[in-house]
Amino acid sequence: MSHILTIDSGNTFIKWGLYDQCDLVFQGKVKQEESAILTQAWQNMPEPSSIIVSNVAGDAAHKNLIVLCSAWKMKPHWLTAVRQQCGVRNLYSRPGQLGSDRWAALVAAWNQELQASIVINIGTAMTVDVLSDSGDFLGGLILPGPDLMFNVLKAHTAIPCVELGNFDQLPACTADAIYSGVVQSLIGAIERMNQVLCKHLGYSMQNYIISGGASPLILPHLSIQAKVVDNLVLEGLLLIANDQLNSAMLE
């Protein structure tokens, strides 16, 4: 029985899933600085016949994952975005410059929906990416995620450290003003993208897919209906791994 190990190495967390073809067998999440935990967690898994990794956390994380995966014979495949894959065409001016996590998420979103979509992922950073009705990735936004915004305000202003506030349309205390400002800025980027697309495409986008650990922060306040998909990047990695295995069998 063949197993595919998918690894999403982000700026804050390493998420992973072991699949038997398309069925999830094991999954987990650890902080980057606690990645040694994976040695024990992975000891209890069947040996993967394929390993695919999206790493956006830099060289140190890359080297660390090489060591962690060295317990198995199979060498990892390090995903980079390409011009076309799994039904998605990458219209980035330099396709390989697109983050591997964004590429995997777009592949997953397209293969799940098969229609024009805005794909939102909220973690350390927030990305807002656009797929057309024909599977073209038209472009997208990158901005700081909520924790980065909170931390920058604390580090670079004289605003006193206060407890996390609540969302309010007209905040009347500092804690609520900070919290509401962060939420409104994230929502604003999403809704502004819809306005741009309305002018560009001639119609309002109806399909929104949202993923990422910080997505619950903004979901209650969005004026649009969004479909929540857990582990969108892992789902995309699985699709790409299966596509590569099928291609190899045909050669």
Catalytic residues: 101
**Torsion of Cα atoms, 62 then 63 then 68 then 71, to 10°:** 120
- Which residue intervals of the chain are DSSP H helices? 37-43, 59-69, 100-113, 146-156, 174-201, 215-218, 232-250
Backbone angles phi, psi at 188, to 5 degrees: -60, -40
Instruction: List, in sequence order, every residue forming a beta bridge with 131; answer none if it has no partner.
Output: 117, 137
Q: Is the dihedral of CA 113, 118, 123, 124 positive or negative?
A: positive
- Which residue intervals of 145-230 are DSSP H helices? 146-156, 174-201, 215-218
Structure tokens at 92: 């980035």
* H helices, E strands: number in the chain: 7, 12
Q: How far apart are CA 189 and CA 174, in angstroms?
A: 23
Q: Tell me the C-alpha to C-alpha distance, in Å, between residue 95 and each of 103, 116, 180.
A: 10, 20, 35
